[in-house]
Amino acid sequence: MKTKSWLILSILMIGFLINLPFVSSQEYNSLDLENIEALSAGENGTPHCLGLGSLDCPVSYVKVQVVSYY
């Protein structure tokens, strides 16, 4: 009985761990780090628009490749 209980508990724990958010060990480049800092810095500031593309920059009204937040 005890063995059975432990077995069930183990299965449940495995299932729980599988569904935990996966945290990758990827390295963040400098732009990602700046983005993370910006997100934690609050909602003030304007978007930053980079490159040549088709996204509409809401600040400069120019078409850009990337719109990010600083």
Partner 1 sequence: MKPSIYLLIALELSFFLTACSQNKISSVDFPATEQLFVSEVKPIDGVSMRYPFRVRKNDSCLYVMDLHASEYYVHQFEYPSMKHRRSFAKRGKGPGELLDAENIRLNARADCWILDANNTTLDCFQNNGDSLFQGIVLDKRLIRSLDFDLYADSLFIVPDYTGTHRFDILGPDGKIRESRGQIPLKKKDEDIPAPVYAQAWRGFLDYNPETGLLAIATQLGEVIEIYDVPGDSLVKVIYGKEGEPRFQYRGGYAVPDGIMGYSDVWIGKENIYALFWGHSFKDIRQNQSIEGGNRIQVFDLAGNPVKQYFLDRYITGFCIDEANGIITGLDVNSNQPVIKFCHGRPDPPSHAYR
Rounded-to-integer distance, Cα 38 and Cα 70, Å: 5
Instruction: Enter the tokens of residue 68.
Output: 């990010």
With H, G, I as helix, E, B as strand and everything else as coil, classify residue 8: helix
Distance of closest approach, residue 45 Cβ to partner 1, in angstroms: 5
Q: Which positions from 4 through 23 interact with partner 1, judged by CB under 8 A?
A: 4-5, 8-9, 12, 15-16, 19
Instruction: Enter the tokens of residue 50.
Output: 């980079």
Q: Which positions from 31 through 60 interact with partner 1, judged by CB under 8 A?
A: 31-32, 38-39, 43-47, 52-56, 58-59
With H, G, I as helix, E, B as strand and everything else as coil, classify residue 25: coil
* Residues found near partner 1 in the complex (CB under 8 A): 1, 4-5, 8-9, 12, 15-16, 19, 29, 31-32, 38-39, 43-47, 52-56, 58-59, 61, 63, 65-69
